[in-house]
Structure 1
Amino acid sequence: MIKQKFYNYIFGFVLATFFVVLIFVANGLSISYNEALNVLVNKSVLSYITKSSTYFFGNNDIAIRLPFIILYVLSVILMYLLTKGYFKKEIDRLVNVLIFMFLPGVVSASLLINSSIVVIFCTLVYLYYYKLYSKHNYYLLVFFLFVDNSFAVLFLALFFYSLSKNENKLLVISLILFGLSMYIYGFEASGKPRSYLLDTFGIYASIFSPLIFLYFFYSLYRVGMKGTHSIYWYISITAMIFSLLFSFRQKVYIEDFAPYVVVSIPIMLKLFMHSLRVRLPEFRKLHYNIVKLAIFLLFVNTFLLLYNKPLYLILDNPEKHFAYNYSFAKDIANILKENDINNIKTFDRKLQKRLEFYGIVKGNDYFVSLYNPIKYDKKFTIKYFNKDLLDIYVRKIKQ
């Protein structure tokens, strides 16, 4: 009991600290074009979430990302609650939730305006209800149908699960919901057939970090061959198999599949801990070395995800930076505002929409370009540690 309370305190402290870190990181991000569409144009679940937040907290980067950070915190808490009694030792439970917390894919989902963290949270709510009452909540499943198109993956997984467990009611309802999801949202299969299998593996490796993904993939296979096929396993294996199958033909929107894969982290860790502890202490050295390397790579990946700005110093072209689409828009808007430039025209429609979020409206007073237009009245430069990263050219439009 004392150990359990100690681990609970560690969990609470780490989660609270990381929540603060995410708030600071969110404030340093600029809105991307797709995020701007969700906030300013689209009418979707993401739009309602972000607009509700900006209504109370104003148009700023923390406001649009705060709901997703909160969903991340709630998801981590749910993962901790779900694994109570799952592991033999409480330390395993703590390690499991910390791995889940710091997975690059889960962390990025908490900071970006996309459906991934919403899907993770909803899936964990469903699984926690199932853990508490040992029955399925069909009202939640119907609700999920209208939240996001990717819940078709969950419905399909539950269909396969019901087949194996002879649960006829779940079989019928999951099949109907899957059909309705396909009818409402459709299925994208256009374009020239081309294999993206290696790309998909690469994305999964970045979501988990490479070594963890390799062992996770092995865990799903090992449990599939010799282990107990739990509802968690069915959800993850269905998402994994179908994402890989589709990637043989077309580029896969990994956001539709990855949320269902990460919920089975406990399966991986339980298998690893069992494999470790059945060995005599003198034969555990390899396992410990693998753990050290895997955790090191995990934290390096997550650290670079959160603090990636110094990478601009070593890149010859800022556009090659993986976070380029989430950079500079706020800096550009601040520079324009400082120079009383609030009404602009630009050929870059994506930049125009991003700047609109920060109060720079479309108009005919000034022309703004990020590329040298030959004729310009003012030039501003965004620097980082004295390195020029971006030039902003402004020309007043004559009336």
Structure 2
Amino acid sequence: MLLKSKYTLYFYILLFFIVCLLFIQTQFYLSISYKEALNFYENSSILSFITQASVYLFGQSDLALRLPFICMYIFSVVLMYKITENYFKYEMDRFISICLFMVLPGVLSASLLVNTAIICIFLTLLYIYYYEKYGKHLYYLLPFLLFVDNSFAILFLALFLFSFKTKDRKLLYFSTILFVLSIFIYGIFTDGRPKGFLIDTFGIYAAILSPVLFLYFLYSLYRVLIKKEMDLSWYIASTALLLSILASFRQRIYIEDFAPYVVVVIPAIVKIFLHSYRVRLKEFRTTYNIIAITTILFLSINILFTFVNKPIYLLLERSDKHFVHQYHFVKELSKELKNRNINGVFCDDKSLALRLKFYGIKETEDYFLSEFEFYGYDEKISINYYDKELFRVYIKKLI
């Protein structure tokens, strides 16, 4: 009991530390992207409702914009910790599992950005938790999921397949109806001429899980299948993986639709790895030590780049090649404009105008602002990171 309490304390300390990092990253380093601005101002979706409600309650700031998704991250982590309560023999194994889940690149990035990924992770874990705790399916939740996101068709299909294992007719009928309705409402998206993107898909999975962990993830799914120990989490993860692979033969996939259902199988991966490690003598553990060290190394690099990524600009010739370029510069630009008593501009780039609107720069005809140099401009504003000019705009007073 004392050992369990010790690891529980470690877990909450680590969670608190990561959440603090998320708050700092949100408040000081991220700007609203164009897609996020569209969701906030123009689209009618669950993301629009969540972000507008949060900003209404807590004021218009980046922290308020992203606070609901950080909260979803906290709830998801706690749910995963609850799900694994009786899953591992040793409390240390459970702690390793939850640590791995908490720092996955895909989970961390989902908690920082305005998208449905972290919502899907939370609701999927909620469903799994209810099933694991009570041995019953949370049927009241399923119809609600139909209107949250189109990707829940993956969960409905996984439940359909799972119903054959458990011989649950109610689940069979329920999941079938919801899957068909999901396809009817959202359709099956096809894009352009058929073209293979399988390697791209594997590359994205390697990025959101880390390369070594993704390979071991594939092995773990196969291992569970061979031993016929498939549980609900395995069905969800396997269905998501299989559908993403099949879709990749036709088109480039949106990884946000599949990743939330893949990460739920992390405890099974950890359990298989630690069991395989412990049944071997020390002299035969070299391969597993290499896997563990390499995974920790890649995850550490990913964590570092998640929270400290601006120095990467120093290594790039073009700033727009940075992987989070679309989430930078606009907050700093709005501050520079306000310092010059410019509270309204007319932009030739409508996406930039919409992003500036979030920071109080209205769309007026007092000033003309462009990212491209033009004849007769009055002033140039440069945004520098580490004394390197990375973003600039040119301004002309019109009135």
The two structures have a TM-score, normalised by structure 1, of 0.98
Identity %: 50
Alignment-derived partner of residue 2 in structure 1? 2
For 2:194 and 2:363, the matched residues in 1 are separated by: 40
SS in 1 for 2:377: coil
Q: Residue 74 of structure 1 aligns with which residue?
A: 75
| Residue of structure 1 in register with 2:392 after alignment | 391
- Structure 2 counterparts to residues 173-192 of structure 1, below 5 A: 173-192=174-193
In structure 2, C-alpha distance between the alignment counterparts of 1:77 and 1:299, rounded to whole Å: 22
Q: Secondary structure at the match of 1:263?
A: helix
| Aligned 1:171-320 pairs, distance under 5 A | 171-320=172-321
What whole-Å deviation, never above 9, does each CA across 1:322-366 have from its counterpart, x for those lacking one? Answer: 000000011111111111112211111111110111111112111
Give the superposition deviation at 1:171.
0.4
2:323 matched to which residue of 1? Answer: 322
Query: Greater shift after overlay, 336-345 or 73-82?
Result: 336-345
Query: 1:89-104, aligned counterparts within 5 Å?
Result: 89-104=90-105
Q: Which letter maps to 1:13? A: I
Corresponding position of 2:106: 105
Range that drifts further, 340-349 or 133-142: 340-349
Q: For 1:302 and 1:175, how far apart are their aligned partners in 2?
A: 39
TM-aligned CA deviation for residue 230 of structure 1:
0.7
Report the counterpart of residue 374 of structure 2 in structure 1: 373
How far did 1:225 drift? 2.2
1:282 positional shift:
2.5
Question: Structure 2: which amino acid aligns with 1:383?
Answer: N
- Alignment-derived partner of residue 359 in structure 1: 360
Instruction: Please report how far the alpha carbon of residue 289 of structure 1 lies from its aligned counterpart in structure 2 after TM superposition.
Output: 2.6
CA distance in 2, matches of 1:277, 1:83: 20
CA–CA separation in structure 2 for the residues paired with 1:181 and 1:293: 40
Runs of 4 or more above 3 Å deviation: none
CA distance in 1, matches of 2:152, 2:343: 42
Measure the CA separation in 2 of the matches of 1:285 and 1:2: 32
Corresponding residue SS for 2:304: helix
Q: Deviations over 1:261-289 (max 9, x none)?
A: 00000111111111111111222233123
Tell me which amino acid in the other structure corresponds to 1:332: L
> What amino acid does structure 2 have at the position aligned with 1:321?
H
| 316-325 vs 386-395, which moves further | 386-395
Q: Deviations over 1:213-243 (max 9, x none)?
A: 1111111122122240111100000000000
- Report how far residue 190 of structure 1 moved: 3.3
**Tell me, what secondary structure is at the counterpart of 2:126?**
helix
- Give the corresponding residue for 1:150: 151
Give the aligned partner of residue 17 of structure 2.
17
CA drift of 1:148 comes to 1.0
Partner of 1:57: 58
1:235-259: CA deviations, max 9, x gaps? Answer: 0000000001101101111111110
Output the CA distance in 2 between the equivalents of 1:249 and 1:383. Answer: 42
SS at match of 2:193: coil
Q: Deviations over 1:137-185 (max 9, x none)?
A: 1101111111111111000000011022211110000000001111111
**TM-score, with normalisation over the residues of structure 2?**
0.98
Give the whole-Å Cα distance in 2 for the aligned partners of 1:391 and 1:137: 52
2:36 aligns to what? 35
- Letter of the 1:276 counterpart: Y
Q: Greater CA deviation, 118-127 or 381-390?
A: 381-390
Moved more, 232-241 or 360-369: 360-369
Distance 1:222 1:375 in 2: 68
SS of residue matched to 1:73: helix
SS at match of 1:365: strand
Q: What CA distance in whole angstroms lies between the structure 2 residues aligned with 1:76 and 1:101? A: 7
CA–CA separation in structure 1 for the residues paired with 2:247 and 2:351: 30
Instruction: Report the alpha carbon displacement of residue 375 of structure 1 after superposing the two structures with TM.
Output: 2.5
Q: State the alpha-carbon separation in 1 of the partners of residues 280 and 213 from structure 2.
A: 21
* 1-structure distance, mates of 2:269, 2:375: 58
Which residue identity does 2:314 align to in structure 1? L
- CA distance in 1: counterparts of 2:202 and 2:290, whole angstroms: 24
One-letter identity of the residue aligned with 1:89? Y
**AA aligned opposite 1:3:** L
Q: State the one-letter code of the partner of 1:357.
A: F
- In structure 2, what is the equivalent of residue 127 of structure 1? 128
Alpha-carbon distance in structure 2 between the residues aligned to 1:207 and 1:228: 26
- Between 1:327-336 and 1:216-225, the stretch displaced more is 216-225
Q: Give the Cα–Cα distance (whole angstroms) in 2 for the partners of residues 290 and 131 of structure 1.
A: 30
Residues of 2 paired with 1:154 and 1:72: CA distance? 19
Distance in 2 between the 1:302 and 1:385 partners? 21
Q: Per-residue deviation at 1:13?
A: 0.3
Tell me, in whole angstroms, the C-alpha distance in 1 between the residues paired with 2:357 and 2:297.
40
Long gaps (5+) in structure 1: none
* Whole-angstrom distance in 2 between the partners of 1:322 and 1:190: 24
| 1:135 maps to amino acid | K
